[in-house]
Amino acid sequence: MRFIATYRQVLALLAPDRGVAWFLAFASLALAGLSFLEPVLFGRVVDLLSRTDVMPADRVWMEATTLLGLWAAVGLAGIVAGVATALLADRMAHRNRLRIMHLYFQHVLAMPLSFHGDTQTGRLMKVMLVGTDNLFSLWLSFFREHLTTLFAVIVLLPLTLFMNWRLASLLIVLVAVFCVVATMVVKRTEKAQARVEQLHSRLAGTAQDTLANVMVVQAFTRLSAEARLFGDIMRQVIDNQYPVLTWWAIVSVLTRSASTICVISIFILGTVLHMRGAASVGEIVAFMGLATLLIGRLEGAVAFLARLVFQMPGLEELFGILAAKSTVPERPDALDLPQAQGAVAFEDVGFAYPGGPPILTAVTFTAAPGRTIALVGQTGAGKSTCMALLQRLWDPSSGRITLDGHDLRDLTLDSLRRHIGVVFQDSMLFNRTIRENLLVGRPDATPEQLEHAARMAEAWDFILRQPKGLDTTVGERGSTLSGGQKQRLAIARALLKDPPVLILDEATSALDTATEARVQKALAALMHGRTTFIIAHRLSTVRDADEILVFESGEIVERGGFSELVQMDGRFAGLVKTQLAVQALPKVPEAV
Ligand SMILES: Nc1ncnc2c1ncn2[C@@H]1O[C@H](COP(=O)(O)OP(=O)(O)OP(=O)(O)O)[C@@H](O)[C@H]1O
């Protein structure tokens, strides 16, 4: 069964708390032993009392008092050990749940964009919350119930053979039947539950995707269509879950009846054996007690098994995500570059997205520190892909990219990305205060450095006009700010980071001409003294670049300065002419 391997992984996660886990394991075993002693002692007392005719009364009383005292001590030790084990297990499970959640979050955040492109955010959130919650409850029930039950069945049950092998054999057969039935149901329901879990993940992913696009849903009146889509998945969840729930409900009812069947069977066999002189009354009482105890434990085990079947697929998903490997692995001996000058070189770089056609072919260029390189060309020509490779979001399929002469694959990802600042077309802001958003660039910046960067980015004035100044929260993705304001905050953030290499990916293309002029001023401050790559469709913005690279179908087809390329009268000149022609188009006459 698949779930045994997964269960092993669940327990292996407790490795950092190995000492506590072993202590808890021994405590659970002691608890199991103590709980078994109780019916045995009770049986001894009954036997003793039934022998008053052959033993002196004071000896019977002395022995009975000793046994009862022992019984009380066993009961008390069981309570103390039970409470202590529960408290300790609780703390350990909490501690490890937090540790795994932290580990998972860090792992997911470090995964490359290819992974995030393939995995819905809603699913990632669901797996983290549900998966770690399941881990928590499994650890707890392992130490509180499961281990004790296992010990009772594997070690203590066979020991009863020494008390009365005939009664013990019946008990063993009943327990075995019970285990076989439970295993069959686990097998029957495992697959359907895995499907339910997949559907739950899809549900979470769809919900997150729909909520993130609520504006599109409303604008395109997709309300009922989206609700229907959601409802369809929900219906599939119910259809798949129904048989699983039915099976486990049947097992649960059977388990409850099993207790009665077991006690009656032992009573009948015990009576027969007693009449033949092969069992004492005390042994029968003790076995009935043991049977009730064992079946009670097995009832707990069945509930636990059912939970395991329900939770395993979610845990398998969690382990699958934790085991996912990055497509841009870091070498163990990777260099942590302290301070780069910003010399970038693409050497014969080729690239294709996994399973896709070639996107870049033999791309070669160099950017000396402080120079500005513009990447232009038609949409889909491969400009953004080039810049994604520079940030090592992907690795080239052939050739290499260097920063200060170091192949990017030889640098730690952290030190590479520390040296690169990016301003996107849609400046992504956290739903936090302006101050927190700016400090993303440099968490230890002083208030003076923060103000200086904001002033350089032409953002200081509008920040002061916000209701709480730097402490104003900007809303989801900066929704309370205008495009130009968001862009200037993004520039201030990059200025604070102060990287030697800068990527401006369509940084001003979403702005109107007046705002663009303001942002350009801020950008000029940002670009000063840094190796800058500009991706721009508006060719007027690349006029001052030291070199313009013209991309076509993943290849650089022309390169040079602005006027040099215009004079060349090739592809670039063609692009410029097209843009000028569009700008010179006569205005549509207003309707009369
Ligand atoms: N994550 C991805 N997975 C698969 N293919 C991709 C991915 N990203 C981009 N592509 C493909 O790679 C090609 C180049 O895209 P890229 O974004 O680099 O072009 P671009 O020149 O920057 O275009 P634009 O000017 O429109 O931004 C396109 O055909 C695109 O469909």
Question: Alpha-carbon distance 509 to 489, whole Å?
Answer: 16
Give residue 555 CA to ligand 1 midpoint distance, Å: 13
Higher pLDDT, 557 or 201: 557
Mean pLDDT for the chain overall: 83
Which of 476, 498, 520 terminates a domain? The answer is 498
- In the structure encoding, which two tokens stand for residue 206, read together? 């769809």
In whole angstroms, give the CA distance from residue 507 to residue 174: 74
State how far the alpha carbon of 178 is from the alpha carbons of 167, 174, 185, 405, 573, in Å: 17, 6, 11, 69, 83
Q: What is the pLDDT of residues 244-259, one digit of tens each?
A: 888 888 877 877 777 7
d(CA 460, CA 298): 68
With cut-offs at 50, 70 and 90, classify the pLDDT of residue 591. very low
Residue 553 C-alpha to ligand 1 middle, in angstroms? 10
Q: Is residue 199 in a domain? A: yes
Beta carbon of 383 within 6 Å of any ligand 1 atom: yes
Answer yes or no: pTM beyond 0.80.
Answer: no
Gap between the Cα atoms of 310 and 305, Å rounded: 9
Query: For residue 407, is pLDDT > 90?
Result: yes
Please tell me if the CB atom of residue 363 comes closer than 6 angstroms to any atom of ligand 1: no
Q: Which of 91-105, 264-278, 545-559 is predicted with the least confidence, judged by mean pLDDT?
A: 264-278
Residue 60 in any domain: the answer is: yes
Residues 121 and 262 both lie in one domain? yes
Q: Examine residue 374 and state whether it is found in any structural domain, yes or no.
A: no
Instruction: Choose one of 468, 498, 528: the last residue of a domain.
Output: 498
* Domain match, 29 and 176 both: yes
Q: Assess whether 148 and 281 both reside in one domain.
A: yes
ipTM over cut 0.90: yes
Which of 384, 397, 541 has most ligand 1 atoms within 8 Å of its beta carbon, as the pocket-test mutant? Answer: 384
Give CA angle at 102 (96, 112), nearest 5°: 140
CA of 380 to the centre of ligand 1 (A): 5
- Return the residue whose CA atom lies nearest to atom 28 of ligand 1: 380
Task: CATH number of the domain at 447, please.
Answer: 3.40.50.300
Task: Residue 107: give the domain boundaries.
Answer: 2-323
Share of the chain above pLDDT 90, in %: 20
- CATH number of the domain at 210, please: 1.20.1560.10
What values do phi and psi take at 471, rounded to 5? -95, 15
Query: 437 lies in a domain?
Result: yes
Residue 136 located in a structural domain: yes
**Domain count of the fold of the chain:** 2
**Last residue in a domain, options 498, 522, 547:** 498
User: What is the average per-residue pLDDT within 94-108?
Assistant: 92
How far is residue 59 CA from its own chain's centroid?
66
Quote the tokens at residue 17. Answer: 């708390």
Q: What is the mean pLDDT of residues 390-396?
A: 92
Is 303 domain-assigned?
Answer: yes
